[in-house]
Amino acid sequence: MFVLSTGYAERVELFWDIGTLNISRDGYSTWKSICVNNAVPIPPVHVTQGDVLVLNVRNSLDTPTAVHAHGIYHNYTDYYDGAEMVTECGIPPGENFTYIIDTTDQVGNFWLHSHVQSQLTDGFRTPFIIHEKVKPVTYDEEKLLYFEDWDLRSFDDQMNIYSTLNAKKIPIAYRMLLVNGMNGNVTQPVVFEPGKRYRVRVVSLLTAFWLKFRMPGHTMHIIDQDGVACNPVEVDGLDMGPGQRFSIL
């Protein structure tokens, strides 16, 4: 990562080499996952509002790819939107492309993922957090929780199986839920200290399913949803569809 500061904002430059890696994401079974710079899970991207994210992408896959910044407006820059064959042609195998994302007008929780075929489901996804320059409310620390559905079969393999079945009666099912990139057997613990007030960013990178998120014994207050700030709303849990994001206290 390269960061160039101008005093008021920064140019945050990342270099992503998109490939595949055989890895165990549940502590037991090894399967192929799309990776960035030979890393799985793909590291979350953090910037501060007003920064310019410069994402240099090298496609080392054997199929085209593209990067979509989910929730970013791309006003007048829709050619960086990453929707293959809609706003761009995609990045051919062995080629490079640079995305430039201006965060002047947005803040909150977003995510980066492929919009090509089933690459999202096969691991090409990570949170993209645009931090406020000034905290909107008072809290001591932040935590990030993001969730993925994962299977030991590629999405294309699953579709080949289910195409022979009655899809209306037998929906696609994933074997596990990943927390911060790994199954609960092997993921790094998220530690909370008594007496501290936390902002928890909760991001659903799920493909097709809803997630019910609860913190037993605790009441939560939503302070932003899908990149839009709101007055604190007290809830006892979150019902999250694919792609939804919240910040809670």
Using one digit for the tens of pLDDT, what is the confidence trace for 157-202? 666 665 665 555 555 555 788 999 998 878 888 999 999 999 999 9
Which residues, 6+ apart, have CB-to-CB distance to 233 below 8 Å? 221, 222
Is the confidence at residue 229, as pLDDT, over 80? Answer: yes
Cis peptide before 242 (omega within 30 of 0): no
Higher-confidence residue: 75 or 154? Answer: 75
Cis peptide before 41 (omega within 30 of 0): yes
Q: What's the rounded Cα separation, in Å, for the pair 227 and 65?
A: 25
Q: What's the rounded Cα separation, in Å, for the pair 169 and 71?
A: 32
Distances (CA, A) of 236 to 70, 84, 195, 214: 27, 39, 20, 7
Q: How many residues does the chain have?
A: 249
Contact 192, 132 (CB under 8 A): no
What is the model's pLDDT at position 43?
Answer: 96
Higher-confidence residue: 8 or 57? Answer: 57
Distances (CA, A) of 222 to 15, 199, 233: 34, 10, 5
Three-state DSSP class for residue 105: coil
Taking only the tens place, the pLDDT of each residue in 35-84 is: 999 999 999 999 999 999 999 999 999 999 999 998 888 787 777 676 66
Residues 230, 234, 238, 244, Cα dihedral to 10°: 0
